[in-house]
Structure 1
Amino acid sequence: MSAPVGLSVMGAGLIGKRHIEHILARPEAVLSSIVDPTPAARELAVSLKVDWFPSLQDMLSKNRPEGVVVATPNQMHVGNGMDCIAAGLPALIEKPLADDVVAAQALVEASERAGVPLLTGHHRRHNPMIQRAKAEIESGRLGQIVSVHGMFWLIKPDEYFDVGWRREKGAGPVFLNLIHDIDLLRYLCGDIAAVQAAQSNRLRGNAVEETAVMILHFVSGALGTVNVSDTIQSPWSWEFTAGENPAYSHTPETCYHIGGTRASLAIPQLDLWHHPSKASWWAPIERERLSYEKEDPLGLQIANFCRVIRGTAKPVVSGREGLKTLRVIDAVKRAAETGYLVSV
C-alpha cells in the first residue's frame, strides 16, 4: 500500500475541524499542517502535534503537502484556490467554489489549464446511500425519469439572525442550503437546462429570502419541483432525514422523490415503489427498501481526494461539477427576481 497522502487544511473553523477529524481517521491520509492565522488554530495544531502556519506562503516554504483542503470563508475560496493552483497543489474546496459564477469559472479554467486537480466539497454525493440510488437509476430500474421533487423545510431560530450577514442577500436558504439539494438532484437525474422560481421574505422582513419554490427543467426532459424554507417547523429536509450530522434530529421521513416510468424512489430511505404485475393504478403496488453500507461521506470525500492525488481515481465532484451546480443556483436567483424562465 502506498504511503498516506499529506494534506494541509486551510481554515480551522467548524467545517475545517470536521475535515481535520476525518483526515486523522483515514488510513489514506495524514495531516501535514493547519493553515489559519488565528490563535485558536495555532492551539489546535499544537494539541494535534502538527505544523501551524498563518498563510499558505509560509507553509509552502517549510512543509509542502501533497494537497490542500480549503475550508476558509466563502469569499476567500477563489483567492485560496488560485494560490494552490499556482503552487501546483491539488485542492479540495468547500462549497460553494465562489460567491459568483464568473469567479468560479475563472478558478475552474485556471485549474484545467494548469492540470492541477480541483475538487468541490459537495460531500453528500459520497454518501453510500446516494451512490446506491444513483446505481439504481443508471441501471434503468426506474425506467425513464419523468419528475422529481425535493424539500428543505426547517426553522432557523431568531438568534441565528443576530449575526448581521445572515440577514443580507446571499445568506438565505437558496445559496447556503439549496445548493446541496440541487447538486444531488443534478447528480442523480442529470443536468438542468432552465429554471423558474419565486421567493418570499414576508415573515422576517430581512433583505434575504426565507422561502423559495422552483421548477427545474432537466436536459432529459424531466421536470422537477423544489420547495425550500427556513421558517417552517418540519421534519422534511436532508438534515433531519439523512442522519448524516448528529447536530440535527433524525426522523424517518423523506426529502426527495424521484419518479420514473417503471418505479419511484424515496430518499433517503431508499424505498423503491413499483407495480410488480402490471403498470396500472388498479394493480397492487409494492415497496422494496434498498440496502447499503453506511459510512461517513466526509471521510469518503477525503479518501477520494487522496486517490485523485495518487492518480488512481477521478474526482466524484470536480471543480467543473461544482461550477455547474453554482450556475443553477445563480439561475434560480435570477428567475426569482425577474419572474422569467431562466436558462442555465
Structure 2
Amino acid sequence: MGAGLIGREHAALLRANPRAQLVGIADVSEAGKSFADGLGIPHFTDVGEMLDAIKPDGAIIALPNVLHVDAAVACIERGIPSLVEKPIADTLEAAMRLVEATERTRVPVLIGHQRRHSPDISKAKRMVGEGALGRLVAVNGMWMADKPESYFDVEWRRQAGGGPLLINLIHDIDCLRFICGDIDNVMAFTSNAIRNFEVEDTASVSLQFASGTLGTLLMSDAAVSPFNWDTAAGQALYFPHQPGNSYFLAGTKAALALPGMDLWRHEPETGNWQDPLVRQHVSLDGSKAYENQLNHFLDVTAGKAKPLISARDGMVTLATVLAIARAGQEKRPVAVSEMLS
C-alpha cells in the first residue's frame, strides 16, 4: 500500500525474496499505477478493494503517516497481518486506536522500525542485557546530515509533523529504547534557524531512562556530517556507506561504539582511568536490516513469530518523540507518561 520512495523499495524486497510474492499494489497516483503496470502487478486505488479482491496473507503499509491507522485497521478487520512503516501514526490518538484494534482481535501488526532488525542493534541489545558493559551509565547518539533543498519541495516536510524529529530522530529514539529500555523523561532545545521553516532543523536532547541511565542526542538535517546511523551502518537503502559510529554506550565495565562495534574495556577488569584500554572488535553476521525485517514479517504472517515491534511498542516510541517536540516548544522537562495519560 503506497508506491512512493519506501513503497517501491518494499516492492523490490518482496520480489527478491523467494518466500514472498507481490500480488497487488494500492496507490491513488498515476505514478503508482505506472509502477504497478511496469511490474505487471494488479493496481488498485482503494486499499479495502485490493484486500477484498486479492485476499493477501499480509500487507505492507507505506502510505503517508496520516493514512497508516485506517489502512492497518482495514487489514485487521479482514484478519490480515500488516507491516506498518514508521511512525505508527501521525497522532497518539490514532496510534491508540490501532493498539486497541490489534490487541482486541489479536491480528498482528508489526511496526517498521527496521533498525531493530540490523545485526549491530540486536547485538548491542544482547550485550547490554547480558551485562557485557556492566551497569549502563550513559549513552550518546548523533544523527546529522545535509538534506538538499529539493527534499523540501514536498510541502508536508516543511510543516508541523514533517520535521526531522518525526522523520529521522524517531529511529534513533526507537534504537535507544530497544537497547537501553524505556525513556521516562526528556528535555530539549530545538531550532529552525537555518531554514526558518515551521518545523525544526536542529535539536539537542537530554534523556532519562527508567533504569537511571542518562543520555544525549544531537540531531540536524542541515549539517554536513558522517555522524548518522544510516550512512555509518551501510544498512540504508539509498545512502552511501561511510563507515563510522553514531551511538556510544558507556557502562561500569566497558564501552561500546556502534555500528562499528568497537568494545573498549580494561585488561584486567580491575583497571581504572589511569590504566590503558583494550579495544575489541565485536563481529556481526553481515545480514541486512530490511531483508531481516521482511523475513520476520513473513514469519509473523505465518504465525511463527510475534512482532518484534508491536503497535503498543511503536506507540511508546512515537510518544517519546512527541515529548521531545513538546519539551523543545515549551522549554521544560516532559515525562513520556504525560503524553500517554
The bucket for the TM-score relative to the shorter chain is over 0.9
| Residue matched to 2:248 | 257
Tell whether 2:68 aligns with 1:81: no
Local SS of the residue matching 2:51: helix
Q: 2:280 aligns with which of 274, 288, 304?
A: 288
Alignment of 1:324-339 (within 5 A): 324-339=316-331
Cα separation, 2, equivalents of 1:218 and 1:60? 41
Worse-superposed segment, 32-41 or 175-184: 32-41
Cα separation, 2, equivalents of 1:205 and 1:35? 36
Q: 1:66 aligns with which of 57, 68, 83?
A: 57
Alignment of 1:152-191 (within 5 A): 152-191=143-182
Identity over aligned pairs, percent: 44
Worse-superposed segment, 67-76 or 291-300: 291-300
Distance 1:54 1:128, change over 3 A: same
Task: Note if contact 2:234-2:243 (Cα within 8 Å) is conserved in structure 1.
Answer: no
Cα separation, 2, equivalents of 1:184 and 1:216? 13
AA aligned opposite 1:217: Q
Worse-superposed segment, 48-57 or 228-237: 48-57
Worse-superposed segment, 30-39 or 307-316: 30-39
Worse-superposed segment, 139-148 or 203-212: 203-212
Worse-superposed segment, 323-332 or 54-63: 54-63
CA RMSD of aligned residues (A): 1.4
How far has the Cα of 1:248 moved from its partner?
2.2
Q: 1:215 aligns with which of 187, 206, 209?
A: 206
How far has the Cα of 1:315 moved from its partner?
1.2
Task: Note if contact 1:271-1:289 (Cα within 8 Å) is conserved in structure 2.
Answer: yes
Cα separation, 1, equivalents of 2:240 and 2:22? 31
Cα separation, 2, equivalents of 1:79 and 1:188? 30
Cα separation, 1, equivalents of 2:305 and 2:153? 43
AA aligned opposite 1:25: A
**Deviation per residue, 1:182-225 (Å, 9 max, x gap):** 00000000001111111111222221111111111100000000
| Residue matched to 2:34 | 43
Alignment of 1:7-156 (within 5 A): 10-156=1-147
How far has the Cα of 1:327 moved from its partner?
0.7
How far has the Cα of 1:28 moved from its partner?
2.3
How far has the Cα of 1:317 moved from its partner?
1.3
Tell whether 2:267 aligns with 1:279: no
| Residue matched to 2:310 | 318
Tell whether 2:237 aligns with 1:242: no
Cα separation, 2, equivalents of 1:231 and 1:40? 30
How far has the Cα of 1:246 moved from its partner?
5.3
Q: Alignment length, in residue pairs?
A: 335
Cα separation, 2, equivalents of 1:148 and 1:238? 15
Task: Note if contact 1:254-1:268 (Cα within 8 Å) is conserved in structure 2.
Answer: yes
Task: Note if contact 2:58-2:82 (Cα within 8 Å) is conserved in structure 1.
Answer: yes
Cα separation, 2, equivalents of 1:60 and 1:167? 33
**Deviation per residue, 1:230-284 (Å, 9 max, x gap):** 1211111112211112532322321000111111100100000000113301111
- Give TM-score, length-normalised by structure 2: 0.94
Cα separation, 1, equivalents of 2:99 and 2:183? 19
Cα separation, 2, equivalents of 1:161 and 1:39? 22
How far has the Cα of 1:24 moved from its partner?
1.4
| Residue matched to 2:301 | 309
Q: 1:199 aligns with which of 190, 196, 200?
A: 190
Task: Note if contact 1:93-1:119 (Cα within 8 Å) is conserved in structure 2.
Answer: yes
Structure 1 residue runs of 5 or longer lacking an equivalent are: 1-9
AA aligned opposite 1:266: A
Task: Note if contact 1:190-1:220 (Cα within 8 Å) is conserved in structure 2.
Answer: yes
AA aligned opposite 1:98: A
Return structure 1 stretches of 4+ with deviation > 4 angstroms: none
